[in-house]
Structure 1
Amino acid sequence: MTSEELDLVATLYRNGVKPLQIQAAVAGQFPGCQPKLKDIYNYTSKLRNQELIGDTPMKVLENFLRANSFAYYTRENATNDKTEDIFFCHNKSHKMWRALPEVFLIDTTYNTNMYNWALVELSVWRRHQSHFVSPTCF
């Protein structure tokens, strides 16, 4: 692919366009080019790795949450100062949760096991600093 085509791929990727749509856009804008989907995936992976240089994946996530005004809370391990737990949600969802904290909705976007069930692990803290973990399959 030419540098102009790669620039288009990078622009579309940074704007959240999916690889299949990127492939169609490149083919539409550059009629002589028929990029393979694997090439699109490889190039977007290269872009993603360039964004990670010098930062841990957790730091990248935290920067993303901060830049997009998500509400998030983290808990670090006292011995090694590494983040162990993170809770995040969109500000609108956070306001609804604060208004009625007894109700909690979980949306599982990705299926994670061979039975096509989504796995969610909840760690619930009680007022007396005790907690329980409830892994659940839906």
Structure 2
Amino acid sequence: MRCNRGERYRGEGRDLSVAERVATKTKACGCRAKIKLMFLDYPDRTGWVIKADPGVSGMHNHEFIHYREGHQPVSGLSPAAKVFARDMMKSHVRLASIMKVVNERFPDDHPNMRHLYNLKENDRREAMDGRDVMQQFLHLAREHNYIFWIRQDELTNVMTQTFMVHLRLTDILRTYPHVVTMDATYKTNKYNMPFFGAHYDDTL
């Protein structure tokens, strides 16, 4: 087994003292440290043995990495940072702006954008409580007092059409019935299909 900071793939005769590393992130420093694992099967001794070379190959030529005790794990934010980020997400603040503020207020968490994306996704899944996308859609419609109507395929029970409107908008429509504005939001979903379609019959 060799040190992962060695130059084993760079050639044996390379002069490391004059090697130039321009704009590189490599951690290789030419360390020749290595150990051998051998299985001994002698009458008086049996088992695995770790053997190190007595010369240069038995020593590292670099300092070891020191890890701080109790260092915040990279996998997530602190509870206080999560509460703060959730409050900003509820106010519809952009994640880039949230990231900037969280980085200033909680520098010891070493936050990054992946933390915020994971937090947002976990909160979304927790709010769905095991429901699929369409079940969550109908749940939110009921929760926020929307009037909705759906049409399903009789054979597959797949929803094919839906209509929803808020109670406040129905009151506005009754007050001002002469002008109706419709926003089609045309072809902005991943299926490249319109969200809105109008069908009419002008026959008498």
Shorter-chain TM-score tier: 0.5 to 0.7
SS of corresponding position for 1:87: strand
CA distance in 2, matches of 1:112, 1:63: 21
Structure-to-structure mapping, 1:63-102, within 5 angstroms = 63-97=139-173, 100=177
1:5 Cα offset (Å): 0.9
2:182 equivalent in structure 1: 105
Q: Is the 8 A contact 2:147 2:164 kept in 1?
A: yes
- Once the 2 structures are TM-superposed, how far is the Cα of residue 20 of structure 1 from its aligned partner? 3.1
Q: How does 1:41-80 map to 2 (within 5 A)?
A: 41-80=117-156
Out of 11-20 and 49-58, give the one that drifted further.
11-20
Which protein is bigger by CA-based radius of gyration?
2
SS at match of 1:122: coil
Q: Compare 9-18 and 44-53 and name the one that shifted more.
A: 9-18
Structure 1 110/83 Cα, relative in aligned 2: closer, same or farther at 3 Å? closer
- Paired residues, number: 125
CA distance, structure 2, for counterparts of residue 80 and residue 101 of structure 1: 39
Structure with the higher helix share, 1 or 2: 1
Q: Report deviation, 1:104.
A: 4.2
- CA distance in 1: counterparts of 2:170 and 2:80, whole angstroms: 41
The yes-or-no answer on 1:124 pairing with 2:195 is no
Q: In structure 2, the residue corresponding to 1:79 is in which secondary structure? A: coil
Alignment of 1:32-43 (within 5 A): 32=108, 35-43=111-119
Q: Give 1:14 shift.
A: 4.3
Distance in 1 (CA, whole Å) between partners of 2:89 and 2:114 is 14
| CA–CA distance in structure 1, aligned partners of residues 98 and 186 of structure 2 | 22
Identity of aligned residues (%): 15
Using the TM superposition, give the Cα deviation of residue 107 of structure 1 relative to its aligned residue in structure 2, in angstroms.
Answer: 5.3
Specify the code of the residue in structure 1 equivalent to 2:150. Answer: T
Say which structure is richer in strand. Answer: 1
Cα drift, residue 110 of structure 1: 7.9
Q: TM-score, normalised by structure 1?
A: 0.62
Point out where structure 2 has 5 or more consecutive residues left out of the alignment: 1-76
Residue 2 (str. 1) matches residue 78 (str. 2): yes
Counterpart of 2:132, as a letter, is: T
Q: Distance in 2 between matches of 1:87 and 1:21?
A: 35
CA RMSD of aligned residues (A): 3.6
Deviations 1:5-30 (A, max 9, x none): 12322343345444234324434543
CA distance in 1, matches of 2:118, 2:96: 13
What is the TM-score normalised by the length of structure 2? 0.46
Residues in 2 aligned to 1:96 and 1:62: alpha-carbon distance in whole angstroms: 23
Conserved 8 A contact 1:97-1:104? no
Spell out, residue by residue over 1:49-106, the C-alpha distance to the aligned partner (whole angstroms, 9 max, x if none): 2223421111111111111122221122233434322112333333344563883411
